[in-house]
Amino acid sequence: MSSSLDHFADRLAAAVRAKKTPLCVGLDPRWDQLPAQIRKRHGGDTLPSIARAYEEFCARVLDVVASQVAVVKPQSAFFEACGPRGMTALTRSLERARRVGLLSILDAKRNDIASTGAAYADAALAGVTWDGRTHPVWDADALTINPYLGRDAVEPFIDAARRSGRGIFVLVRTSNPGARQFQDLDCAGKPLYVHVAQAVGAWAGENQGKSGFGLVGAVIGATYPAELASLRQMLPNVFFLIPGYGEQGGGAKDVAGGFRADGLGAVVNSSRGIIFSFEPDDANWEAAVATAASKARADLALAAPGLA
């Protein structure tokens, strides 16, 4: 059993190997798609009631998928949209993920400079320290980061991750259609996202675990399979977080290029395709979630046969 102070990439690699799947389940709760039974129980006329519904829904999803996957990715935006009580729901969902043996990647795409970046990093990962006491806040295993501000704004996140056995995933190539507008600009002979990718490769190389992977990973969309495969070659030490699989259009063959021969090197996120794989009035919705996760596992086994 790995301790939470072991290197993040080692914990992630071990967990993926143990569960034999790169599947990551995205927790993106949306009020109008929740099971009707949960909506009824909590109402929905106030932000706190919606937050409580999200908390119950995520807890039940976590219990269903705990045996099937290694890692989950809560999307901060949907919890933030419920106000302070939403952040309580997020904290409790992150706690429950840990309790049921899952790693968590908090998808919040944060970044800022100097002590402000450090405040985000400590909140998400290491815990904040005042008067000599450290208080955990969100307490996720990893956090997504935006690179636009440059290295000195990524450094506080690397530092917090290093101190606490956590990790970060830096946006390199996002999954949206408009990603090309800036990320593909030809900058001194190569696209911007390749410059960012090379920086991520260097940061990962400076912070490697025994697995050979660094605690700095990269976000690379399944919707750009050619870029994904070429980045896999360029960044042997970088773990990828691949969004855009499933509902956003990416399939197993699109993500296949993201893995090493041994099946390690990437986790592939699916949100709606798993957690909303039922009609709201389906009383058996948890069985539908379990089935959707199994199907995604089977599909991804074609992309990462090395894990079998």
- Binding residue (CB under 8 A) for its own copies from 25, 62, 72, 123: 123
Of 110 and 232, which has the nearer Cβ to its own copies? Answer: 110
Spatial CA neighbour of 112 closest among 87, 148, 85: 148
Of 112 and 282, which has the nearer Cβ to its own copies? Answer: 112
Residue 260, Ramachandran bin (φ over 0: left; ψ between -120 and 50: alpha; else beta): beta
Q: Residues in contact with its own copies, total (CB under 8 A)?
A: 69
- The span from the CA of 18 to the CA of 13, in Å, is 9
The verdict on 85 binding its own copies (CB under 8 A) reads yes
Spatial CA neighbour of 193 closest among 204, 183, 185: 183
- The span from the CA of 155 to the CA of 239, in Å, is 18
Torsion sign (Cα): 54, 174, 143, 15: positive
Choose the binding region for its own copies from 148-156, 158-166, 201-209, 276-284 (rule: CB under 8 A). 148-156
Closest separation in Å from C-beta 97 to its own copies: 17
- Binding residue (CB under 8 A) for its own copies from 1, 188, 226, 308: 188
20 is catalytic: no
The verdict on 237 binding its own copies (CB under 8 A) reads no
- The span from the CA of 239 to the CA of 261, in Å, is 14
Selecting among 73, 109, 190, 295, the annotated active-site residue is: 109
Residues across the chain? 308
Pairing of strands 216-220, 128-130: unpaired
Choose the binding region for its own copies from 7-15, 25-33, 161-169, 288-296 (rule: CB under 8 A). 25-33
Cβ proximity of 219 and 144 under 8 Å: yes
The verdict on 185 binding its own copies (CB under 8 A) reads yes
Annotated catalytic residues are 109
Residues in the site for its own copies, rule: CB under 8 A? 28, 30-32, 44-47, 50, 75, 77-78, 80-85, 87-88, 91, 107, 109-117, 119-120, 122-123, 128, 130-131, 133, 135, 137-138, 146-153, 171, 174-183, 185-188, 192, 195-196, 199
